[in-house]
């Protein structure tokens, strides 16, 4: 395994501090890893949104994980472009969210529409991650974290977090 592969593997194990069932790699936050000639590892991440309160923790966890893999010098950089999108959640990540009782984004994947062309249409309601019902009601635009909303299933009556679509 090359140094880049070892460093990437170490960074990829870091759990998102707000959605502890997914790694930053599964979320699409981990954007790249390079190793400079002097041995410094540079890990590039993209926040899920501007002002994400978890970024300091993610930076510290990434640096600690990569250092534990045997790299003394670690730099964690942030890229804002391209902006993170829920489309970067693959099917495995979506399944892990459902298994944890968190509804994944209900909107379409890989259908980017520039912001100036988007219509003000509310996305489809999420399926209940517990019983699969499509009859769900939003209780609050804000859930346990700023990137989630609180919903309730009209069938099983259980509340659940929903990871909101993000362009």
Rounded mean pLDDT, 17-25: 94
Residues 6+ apart with CB under 8 A from 76: 42, 43, 44, 45, 59, 62, 63
What is the pTM assigned to this prediction? 0.80
Q: What Cα–Cα distance (Å) separates residue 73 from each residue in 46, 113, 129, 133, 153?
A: 20, 39, 41, 49, 48
Coil vs helix vs strand at 36: coil
Residue 58 tokens, joined: 């993610």
Tens of pLDDT, residue by residue over 56-67, are: 999 999 999 999
Residue 86 pLDDT level (bands cut at 50, 70, 90) = confident
Per residue in 113-140, pLDDT (tens digit) is 566 665 555 567 899 999 999 999 999 9
* Cα–Cα distance measured from residue 144 to residue 25, given in angstroms and rounded to the nearest whole number: 21
pLDDT at position 110 over 60: no
Which numeric CATH code is attached to 3-78? Answer: 3.30.300.130
- pLDDT confidence band for 91 (50 / 70 / 90): confident
pLDDT interval class at 40 (50, 70, 90): very high
Q: Give me the pLDDT at residue 107, please.
A: 59
Domain coordinates of the chain in residue numbers?
3-78, 89-163
């Amino acid at each position: 395994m090359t140094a880049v592969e070892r460093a990437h593997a170490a960074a990829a194990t870091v759990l998102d501090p707000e959605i502890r069932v997914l790694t930053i790699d599964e979320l699409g936050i981990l954007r790249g890893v390079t190793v400079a000639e002097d041995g410094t590892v540079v890990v590039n991440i993209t926040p899920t949104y501007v002002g994400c309160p978890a970024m300091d923790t993610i930076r510290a966890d990434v640096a600690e994980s990569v250092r534990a893999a045997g790299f003394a010098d670690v730099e964690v950089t942030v890229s804002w472009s391209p902006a993170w999108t829920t489309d970067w959640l693959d099917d495995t990540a979506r399944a892990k969210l459902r298994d944890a009782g968190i509804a994944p984004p209900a909107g379409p994947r890989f259908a980017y529409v520039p912001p100036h062309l988007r219509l003000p249409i509310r996305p489809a309601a999420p399926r209940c991650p517990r019983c699969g019902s499509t009859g769900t009601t939003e209780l609050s635009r804000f859930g346990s974290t700023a990137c989630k909303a609180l919903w309730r299933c009209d069938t099983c009556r259980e509340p659940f977090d929903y990871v909101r679509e993000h362009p």
